[in-house]
């Protein structure tokens, strides 16, 4: 047997201690990290493009690029620099009746046209057309009423007119069929362009880039 003593093991070299500030210093630039707020904002921007469903993908992509660069409001303002001056129910009624008497004189009469604060534009509801049964003595008469979202007091005249034309067309055509849109373009030849622009405004509203806010 060997009487040599076992070799002693050497302790591993000690690592240099970091200061507290060095130990806590992040290796990643925190300003470049995506936060939950960023994710929510992006989700909102993408969901807002639902207003353009049905349009060509390249058109939707163009609007999406304007949203991403925070330029949608300025783009919209360049096309429509001013809002209309129709502020009262009477002014709205007079505008609507003028259109009706010009293009739909033979249609059922309108009993009421008003701005309505209860209509929420974020749920695709810009205006409503309804039949209201009212009793007059022993008779019950059905009257047509049109209600327009109060939010539309702050938009260009052309877009307000488009919504009014849309609701007027429902006096004759209840469904959104070919005859309905033919009637809309009869009253307003650029109806389809204005409908698209209205949808773009809805996108701008939802992502906080409306030029009229």
Residues 6 or more apart whose CB falls under 8 angstroms from that of 205 comprise 121, 122, 213
Cβ 162 vs Cβ 191: under 8 Å: yes
Buried b or exposed e, range 158-192, using 16+ CB within 10 angstroms? bbbbbbbbbbbbbbeeeeeeeeebebbeebbeebe
Residue 116 three-state SS: strand
- Containing 63, the helix (H) or strand (E) segment is helix 57-68
State which residues of the chain have pLDDT below 50. 2, 40, 124, 133
Q: Is residue 113 a contact partner of residue 145, using CB atoms and an 8 Å limit? A: yes
DSSP string, 156-211: -HHHHHHHHHHHHHTTT--SSSHHHHHHHHHH-TTHHHHHHHHHHHHHHHHTT--T
**Torsion, Cα of 88, 79, 77, 150 (10° steps):** 20
Judge contact between 131 and 110, C-beta under 8 A.
Answer: no
Rounded distance between C-alpha atoms, residue 87 and residue 162, angstroms: 17
d(CA 42, CA 36): 10
Neighbours of 193 (CB within 10 A): 12
Residue given tokens 């939950």 in the structure block: 36
| pLDDT for the residue 118 | 86
How is residue 138 annotated by DSSP?
T
Domains of the chain, earliest start first = 89-197 (3.30.2010.10)
The secondary structure of residue 66, as a DSSP letter, is H
């Amino acid at each position: 047997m060997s009487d040599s003593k076992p070799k002693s093991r050497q302790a591993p070299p000690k690592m240099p201690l970091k200061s507290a500030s060095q130990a806590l210093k992040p290796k990643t630039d925190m300003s470049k990290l995506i936060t939950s707020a960023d994710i929510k904002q992006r989700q909102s921007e993408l969901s807002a493009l639902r207003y353009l469903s049905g349009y060509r993908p390249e058109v939707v992509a163009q609007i999406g690029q304007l949203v991403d660069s925070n330029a949608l409001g300025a783009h919209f303002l360049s096309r429509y620099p001013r809002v209309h001056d129709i502020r009262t129910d009477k002014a709205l009624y007079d505008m609507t009746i003028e259109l009706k008497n010009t293009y739909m004189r033979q249609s059922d009469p309108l009993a009421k046209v008003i701005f309505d604060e209860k209509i929420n534009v974020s749920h695709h509801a810009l205006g409503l057309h309804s039949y209201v049964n009212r009793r007059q003595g022993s008779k019950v008469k059905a009257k047509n009423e049109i209600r327009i979202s109060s939010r539309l007091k702050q938009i260009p005249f052309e877009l307000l007119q488009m919504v009014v034309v849309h609701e007027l067309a429902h006096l004759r055509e209840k469904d959104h069929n070919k005859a309905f849109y033919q009637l809309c373009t009869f009253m307003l030849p650029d109806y389809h362009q204005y409908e698209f622009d209205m949808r773009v405004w809805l996108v701008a509203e939802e992502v906080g880039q409306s030029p009229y806010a």
